[in-house]
Structure 1
Amino acid sequence: MQEAEGTECTCRPAAPVAYDHSRSAPEESRMPFTRSRILYVTDLAYEARGRRYCDEDIYLTSRLREEFDLALCHPRDAAALLDAFDAVVVRNSGPVQGYEAAHAAFRERATERGTRVYNQLTGRADMVGKQYLLDLTAAGYPVIPTVDRAEDLHRLPVADEYVVKPRLGADSAGLGIVPAGRVAEALDGAGDLLVQPRVDFAYEVSFY
């Protein structure tokens, strides 16, 4: 700057100012992680008969978020993301059944790394199909009798109607009600199906 006649310039170049960005961040964002991190695997677009799955996901995750740091992901992304979390919750077998290869890759990686997964990957119930219904029937447990071959239909109780459903299925997808006289026809070349007598009950009881 040019000095005016008879005056002395007192201006000095401005020194760089160090700005502490952390001061502007909310205190909560700078706190260390103290809660377990949960990866919640579901398909928000999954269509189930008679109800909206995404509404249930919203409610379930809102409750989990009270206790955990939580993120939702699609079944296709689970294998790639699981390393950043302490545990993984897989909603159930319905949302993952359309993505068998991706879910198999997730199961393999989670097993290799010892990741906590709920329901556990060692389970033998709906998450891996309905073979357990045949096993329990064969073992004589008091369950709804189930067979998977036309030649075994005589082992079922006599009923007016029978339920025919996929061995790998959930949420009534692919389920049909068949008159007694057409059950063998329904099984013929229809794929991997199970048959049970139709039982008229008010609600299903789940055990945990």
Structure 2
Amino acid sequence: MPAERPRILYVSDLAYPARGRRYCDEDIHLTSRLREDFDLALCHPRDAAALMDAFDAVVVRNSGPVLGYLDVYDDFRRRALAAGTRVYNPLTGKGDMAGKQYLLDLTAAGFPVVPTVDRAEDLPLLPDAGRYVVKPKLGADSIGLRIVSREEAAEAADGTVLVQPHVDFAYEVSFYFVDDAFQYALYAPHTDRRWQLEPYEPTASDLEFARRFIDWNTVRHGIQRVDACRAPDGSLLLVELEDLNPYLSLDAVDDTRRDAFVAAMKASLRRFVTGSA
């Protein structure tokens, strides 16, 4: 049974050079607030497997793309699952945590997602477009993303990459959830500046859209970010369901919403650690 002040191992790569974001600032703030309720230590993702047995739970936050240390991450997953270690977010997510296969699955199931295929013979299933986006199935943070012609897309679509039509969207918007509770939304009004975010007040239909993906996923405890784009017809299309280590852009919200988010995360984490949910 966890102590009155549960012990948390907080995993982050403070030095990861994220474009337009400062992981260290966000995690310094979050850890300072979590220490009010938990005994906490911070470590690099490469050290998590060796240290996690001494803690009541492991919180994976801004740990960077796992492509840079995939063997270490796979070992961490195996050991955590075998030992029944509480990992927040739990390692059962079907979104980015498991790769990009979900974009194919959701396309096939008729969800409102940017249409996605992975083989040349399926290209006719995509809307006609002058340009196409090709990206690795195990990609993250736009690593390996290319914008190509249809002919180049056909050559690349060998089952190892995803192919999508290049959508001329009006803007990107992100919805942030703790467990199944909506916290706030942010959007990038300038399409060429993805991480210059401003507060966004979602409509009821916007939230209904985002909740479809939260309900679809299997993460009952933790933090998720639903990234979408506003298509030319005014609809929203899913771009990414980030359920591993979503950057929160807490510096873009006001003090009231930031404090509310921290309170929701503390309550969620305590329920998760004590098994009281």
Instruction: Please report the TM-score for the alignment, with normalisation by the length of structure 1.
Output: 0.74
Distance, in Å, in 2 between the alignment partners of 1:125 and 1:86 is 25
Q: Secondary structure at the match of 1:80?
A: helix
Q: Which runs of 4+ in 1 moved over 6 A?
A: none
| Runs of 5+ unmatched residues, structure 2 | 178-277
**Structure 1 counterpart of 2:9, which letter?**
L
Q: Counterpart amino acid of 1:142?
A: P
8 Å CA contact retained: 2:8, 2:40: yes
Indicate the residue corresponding to 1:55 in structure 2. 25
Task: Tell me which residue corresponds to 1:89.
Answer: 59
Q: 1:85 to 1:137 in 2, by over 3 A?
A: same
What is the DSSP-based 3-state SS (H/G/I as helix, E as strand, rest coil) of the residue aligned with 1:38? strand
Describe the shift of the 1:177–1:99 C-alpha distance in structure 2 as closer, same or farther (beyond 3 A).
same
Higher relative contact order (CA 8 A, sep 6+): 2
Segment of structure 1 superposing worse, 154-163 or 56-65 = 56-65
Bigger share in strand? 2
SS across alignment from 1:99: helix
Structure 1 position 152 matched with structure 2 position 122: yes
- Alignment partners' CA distance in 2, 1:57 and 1:150: 42
**Aligned pair 1:205/2:205, yes or no?**
no
Q: CA deviation at 1:207?
A: 5.6
Q: Please name the residue that 2:160 is paired with.
A: 192
| Aligned counterpart, 2:81 | 111
Contact 1:89-1:119 at 8 Å conserved across structures = yes
Tell me, yes or no, if structure 1 residue 36 matches structure 2 residue 18: no
CA drift of 1:39 comes to 0.9
Q: 1:204 to 1:94 in 2, by over 3 A?
A: farther
Report what 2:249 is aligned to: none
Distance apart, 1:188 and its partner CA? 6.1
Which residue of 54, 73, 84 corresponds with 2:43? 73
Q: Does 1:132 align with 2:99?
A: no
Q: Give a deviation string over 1:98-146, Cα, whole Å, max 9, x none.
A: 1111111111121122111111111121112111111111112221111
Change (3 A) 1:48 1:71: same
Q: Which residue of 1 aligns with 2:92?
A: 122
TM-score by length of 2: 0.57
Query: Which has the higher Rg, Structure 1 or Structure 2?
Result: 1
**Secondary structure at the counterpart of residue 46 of structure 1:** coil
Work out the CA distance in 1 between the residues paired with 2:41 and 2:176. 27
Aligned residues: 174
Q: Which amino acid aligns with 2:146?
A: G
Identity of aligned residues (%): 70
- 1:79-109 residue CA offsets vs partner (Å, 9 max, x unmatched): 1100111111112673433111111111112
Preserved CA contact (<8 Å) 2:45 2:63: no
RMSD of aligned residue pairs (Cα, Å): 2.2
